Chain A
Amino acid sequence: MTPLMEVRDLQVEIPLPHGNLRAIRGVSLTVDPGEAIGVVGESGSGKSITLRALLGLLPQPAKVTGGSILLDGVDVTGMPTARRQRLLTDAVSMVFQDSLTALNPVMRVGEQIAEVPRRKLGMSRTAAHSRAVDLMEQVGIPDPERRYRAYPHELSGGMRQRICIAIALSTDPRLILADEPTTALDVTIQAQVLKVIETLRRERQLGLIFVSHDLAVVSQTCSRVYVMYAGRVVESGDIGTMLRDSRHPYTYALLRSVPDPDAPVHRLITIPGQPPDLTAAVDGCSFAPRCPFAAAECTVQDPPLVPVRYDHTHVTACLRWETAEHWPQWSHPTEPNHIEPGQPLSEAKS
């Protein structure tokens, strides 16, 4: 099966006065039609930039300097900008983190949903209107006819995010990119919105790339996960393996850094240190300075992605992954923070 979207060794640079910032330093991922994958990492890891590159909408000074993006097996990287953007925007949609800024403040929300059917697909006004109302119903907005005429600032956060999802669906995409769509929402609303995304995805067989800093949220909707750090993928695999048997110190630290509200009060576990300076050349593994398991070999060479399993479904960029079982406090069945896929972290039991 041809992957819906495939990224091969993508490099993105941002020229700045004080140096060239290598925001993406060789990222590869694939999404099959109808598949939901997650991309996890902290701020600055490059996850949002990756999404923008997949839309062909990198912000001004940033440029793709290497690698390729394939849509349905066709390389779009070499194409003239206009054509590339058209192909990508036809097939791919994006849902942003901040629904308030993602919506035009002076335009009624219904009109924003109806805009593509009307302008791009050439529907008549009434047809576009009903299409928009229809979409609003599908994303679970009550009383859509009345809400059609509302302005973004008149709606609640959860409602707005549903509008954004409806807008994303209005182009009839095959792949949805979600950039932390629930981060700005309350936990209860979060669950509702996630449910909407998941239901629609399954109904329409959409691909989904879900970007978040929260591995648990990702685990609720995605079957595979890529973990990014400092502009590259440091581990990837299916969600169950990642949660139970992660083989990269960063992933493991991410898992452990979420506090367990049911556990007795401990000191919060944080990852000490800062993400690295991406304008500088990297000597060795970029996580090494912060890694509790780093050894001398880790500072020599940036580790390549190596398979943990024969079939390459689990890869990691850690040189010491094989010895992970012997690292202190690594996952044991009796360890706290042992998580099942789809289980919110707050329910993690030992």
Chain B
Amino acid sequence: MKYLLYVVRRLVQLIPVLFGISLLVFLLLKIVPGDPAVTLLGSHVTDEGVAALHQQLGLDHPLWQQYLTFLGKLLHGDLGESYQYQSSVSSLVFQNLVPTIWLVVTGALFAVIITVPLAVWAASHRNGFGDNTIRTIPLIGLGMPAFWLGIMLVLLLSLKAGAFPASGFGDGFANHVKSIILPGLTLALALVPILVRSLRASMIDVLQSDYITTAKAKGLTGRRVIFGHALRNAAISSVTVLGVNIAYLIGSTVVVERVFALNGIGYLMLTAIFNRDFPIVQGVTLVFAVMVVLVNLFTDMTHAALDPRVRLA
């Protein structure tokens, strides 16, 4: 019951943030130097044409009114029309959403699968050789560009070894899986250094607690102590770290999609940038922000599920 109340409270807190996001995205387009009407007309610029377009696009209204119109459309799911393609931005986004979601999920999954064993090993064998090696990962990983890592992976695992496709999403479920592994791995490895450092530190901290001594004093096996007691407590603060960095993870999909020519919404955004297709850029930016907000809500819910003390807050 307390948990449900917590979730509801968090949902309510989201509302101003969502408004703020829409405002920021709206303003984003307004800072573009130059007149959008002129840009649209391209070489067919005439004064009448510009004036007509202004009226058509509602650009002759005051700013706040434009925002309200924008917001109204937004709430109906209308993200505008693409300049280049003859379709609405929303439909384009939907078409390209699937690969991105695959990527994010695979990335997060890989991140957890890689981080947990490394961090647990490092914490349990503190100052051993393995631990010291693992501790260098955050140092090297901090400065490693995700896209470069992706390229290296392609070089080693795809071109040299031929194990995975170098680009594209493939057709059919099996090919999807094959194609998403390298991109997902790239995304994950961008996050792993931070997560390993955080989880390792939490584990070390937790392993020194009295309740771990209690657990050992009960005569429980080492595995039970670590997985039944230590990990769950250590995971709590790491979930927070994951939550903070998840926005970064989601943003990195833009670059990773470019590296692997994955036609997700990040790829859509980049193509739109090169085509000067403002509505798509605006729409995708908004979608990304909403995605982050939802994922953050999810991590908060996970955090509260793991840690009963949080539900009081």
Contacts and interface: CB of A to CB of B under 8 A. Distances in A.
Interface of A: 52, 55, 57, 59, 85-86, 89-90, 92-94, 96, 98, 101-107, 115-116, 119-120, 151, 153, 164, 167, 170-171
Interface residues of B, number: 23
A57 B307 contact: no
B216 A89 contact: yes
Q: Is the interface of B mostly helix, strand, loop or mixed?
A: helix
Contacts of B208: 59
Nearest to B308: A151
Given A85-B216, A104-B214, A171-B219, 10 more contacts: A57-B213, A57-B217, A93-B217, A96-B210, A102-B210, A104-B215, A106-B236, A107-B229, A151-B309, A153-B309
Nearest to B221: A119
Contacts of B219: 85-86, 89-90, 116, 120, 171
A85 to B, nearest CB: 8
Contacts of A151: 308-309
Central interface residue in A96, A98, A105, A120, by most chain B CB within 10 Å: A105
B218 interface: yes
Contacts, number: 76
Contacts of A52: 213
Contact of B307 (A93, A106, A164, A170): A106
A171 B214 contact: no
B244 interface: no
Contact of A101 (B210, B216, B232, B236): B210
Nearest to A151: B308
Contact of A96 (B214, B228, B233, B306): B214
Contact of B218 (A59, A89, A96, A101): A89
Contact of A102 (B214, B232, B233, B309): B214
Nearest to A164: B214
A167 B214 contact: yes
Given A151-B308, A151-B309, A153-B309, A103 B217 contact: no
A115 B220 contact: yes
Interface of B: 208-211, 213-221, 224, 228-229, 232-233, 236, 306-309
B120 to A, nearest CB: 17
A98 B216 CA distance: 17
A102 B211 contact: yes
B215 A171 contact: no
A90 to B, nearest CB: 6
B217 A89 contact: yes
Contacts of B224: 119
B211 A101 contact: yes
Contacts of A170: 218
Contacts of A86: 219
A57 B215 CA distance: 11
Nearest to B235: A106
Nearest to B312: A153
Contacts of A94: 213-214, 217
Contacts of A105: 211, 233, 307-309
A86 B236 CA distance: 30
A102 B209 CA distance: 8
A76 to B, nearest CB: 14
Contact of B210 (A98, A106, A119, A120): A98
B218 A171 contact: yes
B309 A103 contact: no
Given A96-B214, A151-B309, A106 B220 contact: no
A105 B219 CA distance: 19
A218 to B, nearest CB: 22
